[in-house]
A and B are shown apart, each in its own frame.
Chain A
Amino acid sequence: MSYLKIENMQIAFKTVKGKFVAVQDINLKVDKGEIISIIGHSGCGKSTIINAIAGMLTPSMGRVMVDGKSINGPGPDRGMVFQNYSLLPWLTVYQNIFQAVDATLKNGTKEEKHSRVERYLKMVNLWDHREKHPGQISGGMKQRVAIARAFAIDPEILLLDEPFGALDALTKSSLHIELLKMWNLTHRSKTIIMVTHDIEEAVFLSDRIVVMNNGPAATIREIESVHLPRPRNKKETVNLPEYKTIRERLLSLLMEKFSIDDSEYFKEEQAA
């Protein structure tokens, strides 16, 4: 039985102009330990779906089920990494993670909480930077803190909302590895749902890729399975023929036009 189920979900917002349907007819089943990417153009409701799984939005139709139960509201079984890090700037790196652990691990002792923060900070190699404030560290480090924070509450499902969108290509690559490392270290038991608009990122990380149609009232266009062997690495995985096929397939789905139409230009040139 699938661990996470989205059934006939529609999400609509009330606006001054009336009802605005962001996404509809969303059906998705995700197994435990799967990594799923949701990909699509801006404004196709990718983030809306992930916010609904997080419990921050309530579907206007249909439902989201985790472990056989309908969700209502956020819960400690789902951790989230936000696009813009969302660290609290007045707290140290350590405190940012500690406060999240403290809030979710209600029955734990102080020692348990502290040792957990330490373990996850060491996993992302930020133990030495624990006393710094978010303003003093780089974007890549901030996102590592955010990832550590999401893992540290030990959720069953990790939700990543365009987590690497604001980072440069090199930092991005190293964070992909970091994410897979964390996933391995937690015995590949965590289900990861990630929203992205980066095709290569989606192919490299995911088991399946959900391709969205354009909004408004966006629907799922197609779900691609990625059968690349794990563990994956940046050197070999990207050279596998399967990687290239899927990348091409996604490109053609997302980009209707591969290049601008040159014929018009040449016609004019010849006329002149």
Chain B
Amino acid sequence: MKSNEQKLGITTGSTGSTPSAFTFIFRESAITKEWQRKIFSWAAGLGYSLTGFGILIGVWAVLAAMTADFPGPQTTLKVLYQMLLDPFYVYGPNDMGIGVQLWSSLIRVFAGFSLATLVAIPLGMLMGANRFCRRVFYPIVQILKPVSPLAWFPIGLVAFQSASTATIFIIFITSIWPTLINTAFGVSSIPEDHKNVAKVFGFSQWKYITKIVLPYSLPHIITGMRLSIGVAWLVIVAGEMLSGGTGIGFFVWDSWNSLSLEKVISAILIIGMVGLVLDKGFSFLEKKFTYSG
């Protein structure tokens, strides 16, 4: 073993029959090695990303240089910098900082998304657990799921008489499906073994739901929520373009009307970044609630 490692030039830290003090030092160095490896892989990841962005910005600069009206990276980044310098100003209903716009979009997204989650999880559990409910509701899900968010907007306007509430409604109605479907799948795929445990030991309905159904389907539910928040963030821009008033979508539309493509591109970058953060947040939760048997 030892000679093999030397031959291959690998050092794995503790090498068996060393006294305890040495083992301790070796183990400590193994920990720092672990950290070194982590930092190295993180730096490598950053390097790859920067290369990618370098290429993107290069292509963008070339394309911008070839066309007359299209802003290049330099002017755009300058505008973005200006926007980020003072993000929270409010000069009037049509002139607000990017931070204010972003904040009002995020509030709408979370309102619609939370409502969707509150409906989707119980309904999904019902569909997953009960064959009758599944057969009754699944066709409805299949029909409504592919409908474009914008098609829902008039319905929302009629129902709520307010463009802002209608935007929350379209986020609700479009982001409900991934969580619903994933929850139903999670609940319907509970292994027989777990069900048998509940049967043999006479678990009450409550115990069955809290100790078996929920923990088992939680990773599926979180995956669904991750997809849902992605959809919600996708829909908000379109929704706010229609509804107007405030929000990042409105900001994009307003910038276009005032012919500031730099602001439009800056907003796109910000939308992308926020979307990434939301996704990472849920994938962190996903990892946290995944267990191994």
A residues with a Cβ closer than 8 A to B are 54, 56, 74-76, 78-80, 82, 84, 86, 88-91, 99-100, 102-104, 133-135, 149, 153
Whether A74 lies near B202 (C-beta < 8 A) is yes
| A154 → chain B closest CB, angstroms | 12
Whether B293 lies near A134 (C-beta < 8 A) is yes
Bound state CA distance, A78 and B201, in angstroms?
9
Whether B211 lies near A82 (C-beta < 8 A) is no
Of the candidates B197, B201, B293, the one having the most CB atoms from chain A within 10 angstroms of its own CB is: B201
* A/B interface sample: 29 pairs, CB < 8 A: A56-B196, A74-B202, A75-B202, A76-B202, A79-B201, A80-B200, A82-B193, A82-B196, A82-B197, A84-B193, A86-B197, A88-B215, A89-B292, A90-B215, A90-B291, A91-B215, A99-B203, A99-B207, A100-B201, A102-B207, A103-B201, A103-B204, A104-B202, A134-B293, A135-B291, A135-B292, A135-B293, A149-B201, A153-B201
Q: Which residue of B lies closest to A75 (CB)?
A: B202
Q: Does B280 contact A (CB under 8 A)?
A: no
| B93 → chain A closest CB, angstroms | 50
Closest 5 CB pairs of A and B: A90-B215, A135-B292, A100-B201, A89-B293, A86-B193
Bound state CA distance, A90 and B219, in angstroms?
11
Main secondary structure of the interface of B (DSSP, over half): helix
A-facing mask of B120-146, CB < 8 A → 1, else 0? 000000000000000000000000000
Q: Does B212 contact A (CB under 8 A)?
A: yes
A-facing mask of B197-221, CB < 8 A → 1, else 0? 1011111100100011001100000
Bound state CA distance, A198 and B200, in angstroms?
25
Known: A99-B207, A103-B207, A135-B293. A88 touches B194 (CB 8 A): yes
Q: Which residue of A lies closest to B199 (CB)?
A: A74
Q: Which residue of B lies closest to A161 (CB)?
A: B196
| A97 → chain B closest CB, angstroms | 10
Q: Which B residues lie within 8 Å of A54 (CB)?
A: 200
Bound state CA distance, A149 and B201, in angstroms?
9
The one of B194, B211, B215, B216 in contact with A86, judged by C-beta atoms closer than 8 angstroms, is: B194
Known: A54-B200, A103-B202. A88 touches B292 (CB 8 A): no
How many of chain B's residues touch chain A, expressed as a range?
10 to 19
Whether A104 lies near B201 (C-beta < 8 A) is yes
Q: Which B residues lie within 8 Å of A153 (CB)?
A: 201
Q: Which B residues lie within 8 Å of A135 (CB)?
A: 291-293
Q: Which A residues lie within 8 Å of B202 (CB)?
A: 74-76, 103-104
A-facing mask of B180-202, CB < 8 A → 1, else 0? 00000000000001101101111
| B201 → chain A closest CB, angstroms | 4
6 more CB-based (< 8 A) A-B contacts, given A54-B200, A86-B196: A56-B199, A75-B202, A82-B197, A88-B194, A103-B203, A149-B201
| A108 → chain B closest CB, angstroms | 14
Q: Which A residues lie within 8 Å of B291 (CB)?
A: 89-90, 133, 135
The one of B197, B199, B200, B204 in contact with A88, judged by C-beta atoms closer than 8 angstroms, is: B197
Q: Which B residues lie within 8 Å of A74 (CB)?
A: 199-200, 202
Q: Which A residues lie within 8 Å of B204 (CB)?
A: 103
Q: Which B residues lie within 8 Å of A149 (CB)?
A: 201
Q: Which residue of A lies closest to B218 (CB)?
A: A90
Q: Which B residues lie within 8 Å of A102 (CB)?
A: 207
Bound state CA distance, A75 and B207, in angstroms?
16
Q: Which B residues lie within 8 Å of A84 (CB)?
A: 193
| B285 → chain A closest CB, angstroms | 15
| A169 → chain B closest CB, angstroms | 23
Bound state CA distance, A149 and B66, in angstroms?
75
Q: Which B residues lie within 8 Å of A89 (CB)?
A: 291-293
| A152 → chain B closest CB, angstroms | 10
Q: Which residue of A lies closest to B212 (CB)?
A: A88
Bound state CA distance, A92 and B98, in angstroms?
48
Interface hits, B147-203 → A, CB 8 Å: 193-194, 196-197, 199-203
Q: Which residue of B lies closest to A89 (CB)?
A: B293
Q: Which residue of B lies closest to A96 (CB)?
A: B197
Q: Which B residues lie within 8 Å of A86 (CB)?
A: 193-194, 196-197
Interface hits, B206-238 → A, CB 8 Å: 207, 211-212, 215-216
Of the candidates B193, B199, B204, B293, the one having the most CB atoms from chain A within 10 angstroms of its own CB is: B293
Q: Which residue of B lies closest to A146 (CB)?
A: B197
Q: Which B residues lie within 8 Å of A80 (CB)?
A: 196, 200
Q: Which A residues lie within 8 Å of B203 (CB)?
A: 99, 103
Of the candidates B200, B211, B215, B293, the one having the most CB atoms from chain A within 10 angstroms of its own CB is: B200
Bound state CA distance, A247 and B197, in angstroms?
34
